[in-house]
A and B are shown apart, each in its own frame.
Chain A
Amino acid sequence: MPIETAPGLEAGILLASTLFCLGLAGLMMRRNVIFMLMCVEICTNAAALMFVVAGAHWGNADGQVMFIFVVTLAAAEVAIALALVLQFYHRKHTVDIDQLNDLRG
């Protein structure tokens, strides 16, 4: 059943792009790993929003199916990343990403 009052496809794409660029900017400008992880979540969420908007536009359930997979991926990713953050803090006693330079690249 179509919804006439829904916002347009362009508005959804623009919102997803804005959120993704904000997350990308935060990822580049932060040094604290916890904040970088939050910014990765923002980017993932923007991509998921894009899937749902496109699925709603084409009247297809695949958009929401892909949203469920994106959420699953984000959950697995954040669990692994937080375990890495804990291990990082135990070894270096800081959350500064610039301290991870043991390889002297």
Chain B
Amino acid sequence: MNYLFYLTAAIAVLSTTMVIFHRNAVHALLYLVTSLLAVAVIFYQYGAPLAAALEVIIYAGAIMVLIIFVIMMLNQGDSTVVQERAWLQPSTWVGPALLSALLLIQLILLVSSAPFSAVRAFHYIGPKQVGIALFSHYVLAVELASMLLLAGLVGAFHLARHRKPETGRSGNAN
């Protein structure tokens, strides 16, 4: 059933290409969600159902909703499309695209020249094994991740607070 893999990979690559070239932020975000869902299908094919579920729930769900909230808060209407069209001229994107294409060609050459084992057997790793590994071997890393999330919460709250310019402690704010 490799056709399914190649079809899903093509969807992921095409929708990611649409993300980096699209001018409307909300449309680009929808293409990004499509790309993340395609990657979730690929996780499932590699025998990682927990990763597939987390990809849908956290990436395509929570993180994309955060980004769409901010796009809605910053919405300037149709002027953004005109602005993006002015910013995304071919003279702007040809250089970075060529450099990234060169990097990709190098990576493809490296991968295709490396000796891979002929073993095609992938292993199904269920949520139970992942949970056992997570809370026995990596329990310290779980605690560190919780501290990271707490720091992210406090930092996001502090940064997103809208201070009045005259009462702000940072004197040069406008």
Contact = CB atoms under 8 A, between A and B. Distances in A.
A6 B66 contact: no
Contact of A89 (B46, B74, B95): B74
B125 A61 contact: yes
Interface residues of A, number: 76
A79 B153 contact: yes
Contacts of B28: 35, 38
A79 B148 CA distance: 12
Q: Which secondary structure characterizes the binding site on chain B? A: helix
Interface in B30-51: 32, 35-36, 39, 42-43, 45-48, 50-51
B59 A71 contact: yes
Interface of B: 1-2, 5-6, 9, 12-13, 16-17, 19-20, 25, 28-29, 32, 35-36, 39, 42-43, 45-48, 50-51, 54-55, 58-59, 62-63, 66-67, 69-71, 73-74, 80, 83-84, 87-88, 92-93, 95-97, 99-101, 103-104, 107-108, 111-112, 116, 120-125, 129-130, 132-134, 137-138, 141, 145, 148-149, 151-153, 155-160, 162, 173-174
24 contacts: A6-B46, A7-B45, A10-B112, A12-B42, A19-B35, A24-B96, A25-B20, A35-B25, A38-B67, A42-B16, A45-B59, A63-B125, A64-B125, A65-B137, A68-B130, A69-B141, A71-B55, A71-B59, A72-B149, A77-B152, A78-B66, A80-B152, A83-B158, A87-B159
